[in-house]
Amino acid sequence: MGIFRKKKNATAGRLDPEKLPRHIAIIMDGNGRWAQKRGLPRTAGHAAGAETFRTIATYCRDIGIQYLSVYAFSTENWKRPADEVAAIMGLLERFLREALETMEKDRVKVRFFGDVSVLSDRMQELIAETAEISSHYDGVQVNMCVNYGGRDEILRAARSYARDYAADGRALDDKTFERYLYSAGVPDPDLIIRPSGEQRLSNFLLWQAAYAELYFTDVYWPDFTTQELDRAIIAFQHRKRRFGGV
């Protein structure tokens, strides 16, 4: 019977509440395929994905995750049909309005990573308002990545640094450089999750991902559940992080 002994499953077991990742980042992918599979328009997938985001953000707050970064719209996603882009922006606006109404109660802090200056004036006002309220307390922090691209972020940081260097000549080290990134002040993600079966970063948190543990699952984002998140966290808790050491 011994040869049939079960292989130890890296995702089995229980979640250890003492060893939670401090920062989880998620590439919310697979909305379109989820919808297509059901004969629905892609935009229905985005609406379903927005619901999943609500569930997962609430769950992260409840179990004590400190930072949750979510990739909602990339610098490359402008290539999509205008009606799809408009639908995604509409969902983001709704998220902001809801966040503003419930923030004090939910204690979910919201920050935006990405160039939001190209978004509508209305969106920019909502983002500014959300940032203002968020600055008043310390809850779980959601980093909403919109018009975000890792390369764009690094280039912007390099340009800003170069401007400051011309003024004060401060030497560049990684800690100094990080202050110019959208993620300034936020610890690097410990765990990056990508659903939908794709195994790539698609320009997400390129600098910050240096030592992140990567977790991939075939589930489409709208089907992603709190149990799926538990599985990802348990897998993370089985990883041996070395950061280049022994």
Which residues are part of the catalytic machinery?
29, 77
Instruction: Write out the two tokens for 219.
Output: 């589930």
Which residue in the shown chain puts its C-beta closest to ligand IPE? Answer: 32
- Determine the Cα–Cα distance for residues 157 and 219; give it in Å rounded to an integer: 34
Q: Does 11 bind ligand IPE (CB under 6 A)?
A: no
Least distance between ligand IPE and beta carbon 178 (Å) = 23
Do 15 and 234 contact (CB within 8 A), yes or no?
yes
In sequence order, the 6+-apart residues with CB closer than 8 A to the CB of 73 are 88, 89, 92, 114, 145, 146, 147, 148
* Region 120-159 residues binding ligand IPE, contact defined as CB under 6 A: none
Return the one option of ligand IPE, Mg ion, none that residue 65 interacts with (CB less than 5 to 8 A, by type): none
Minimal CA–CA distance to 148: which of 182, 111, 196, 176? 182
The owner of tokens 């922006």 is 89
- Considering only 43, 66, 74, 141, the residue that binds ligand IPE (CB under 6 A) is 74
Interface with Mg ion (CB under 5 A), residue total: 1
Least distance between ligand IPE and beta carbon 27 (Å) = 5
Angstrom distances, CA of residue 237 to CA of 49, 95, 213, 220: 26, 31, 10, 23
- Considering only 23, 27, 28, 29, the residue that binds Mg ion (CB under 5 A) is 29
Do 113 and 143 contact (CB within 8 A), yes or no?
yes
Minimal CA–CA distance to 203: which of 107, 89, 113? 113
Interface with ligand IPE (CB under 6 A), residue total: 17
The owner of tokens 């923030």 is 103
* Region 27-56 residues binding ligand IPE, contact defined as CB under 6 A: 27-33
Q: Which is nearer to Mg ion, 67 or 71 (CB)?
A: 71
Least distance between ligand IPE and beta carbon 10 (Å) = 25
Return the one option of Mg ion, ligand IPE, none that residue 192 interacts with (CB less than 5 to 8 A, by type): none
Q: Does 224 bind ligand IPE (CB under 6 A)?
A: no
* Region 164-183 residues binding ligand IPE, contact defined as CB under 6 A: none
- The DSSP code for 187 is P
Interface positions with ligand IPE (CB under 6 A): 27-33, 71-74, 77, 88, 196, 198, 200, 202
Interface positions with Mg ion (CB under 5 A): 29
